[in-house]
A and B are shown apart, each in its own frame.
Chain A
Amino acid sequence: DADVTQTPRNRITKTGKRIMLECSQTKGHDRMYWYRQDPGLGLRLIYYSFDVKDINKGEISDGYSVSRQAQAKFSLSLESAIPNQTALYFCATSPAGGASYEQYFGPGTRLTVT
């Protein structure tokens, strides 16, 4: 089984709908992240969490909210989806520690807002 899983893998939704993307990990890492990828822009950070009680905004948090339900679960919500939120969304985890630790990515969720 994959260490970092994301559900759903693909989703098409309509403008104005609320949608939740879920992320689960079995790596036992404290730190979890949500990124968004748009063509030509690389990955940009939406939110990150150092532990269940520590959640922080990233570069592009407007229009998004998150919930860290447990060490292993980190959900991203779009309260009222809009077409420019169409993107590939990645969840990632890393252990606490220094800059040497890589991040482990989930398989991504392709979200289309019509």
Chain B
Amino acid sequence: AQKITQTQPGMFVQEKEAVTLDCTYDTSDQSYGLFWYKQPSSGEMIFLIYQGSYDEQNATEGRYSLNFQKARKSANLVISASQLGDSAMYFCAMKGGDQAGTALIFGKGTTLSVSS
């Protein structure tokens, strides 16, 4: 069975500092995708970044990068130069399996608080 684990219920960081949000996953599939979503207090789910299991390079999207370590089954999100607007819940998710394109499996999330 596929599983996503986020072990940090809450993280605190000051503005302009970098922060790493941890995510480990478990799957027996060879082909899978890893995603990070941001959920601000308003509730919507905002897609941040994607990493494919066969991608050799770590994904980057602006201030977001995904530290993908396949052998360790980890897909940590790195936010550089944190901003107050980064305060939100962050979810790691995975998609894969025989029915590729099926539903996402989510971790329980990490609440990030950015202070000035």
Contacts and interface: CB of A to CB of B under 8 A. Distances in A.
Interface stretch (A11-19, A73-81, A94-102): A94-102
Interface residues of A, number: 29
Contact of B106 (A43, A102, A107, A108): A43
A110 B42 CA distance: 11
Given A42-B106, A108-B43, A102 B35 contact: yes
7 cross-chain pairs, A with B, having the tightest CB-CB distances, nearest first:
A99-B33, A105-B45, A42-B106, A43-B106, A42-B108, A45-B103, A99-B100
Contacts of B47: 102-104
Interface of A: 31, 33, 35, 40-45, 48, 58, 88, 90, 92, 94-105, 107-108, 110
12 contacts: A31-B101, A40-B109, A42-B4, A43-B91, A44-B106, A98-B100, A99-B95, A99-B96, A100-B33, A102-B47, A103-B104, A107-B44
Question: Is the interface on chain B under 10, 10 to 19, 20 to 34, or 35 or more residues?
Answer: 20 to 34
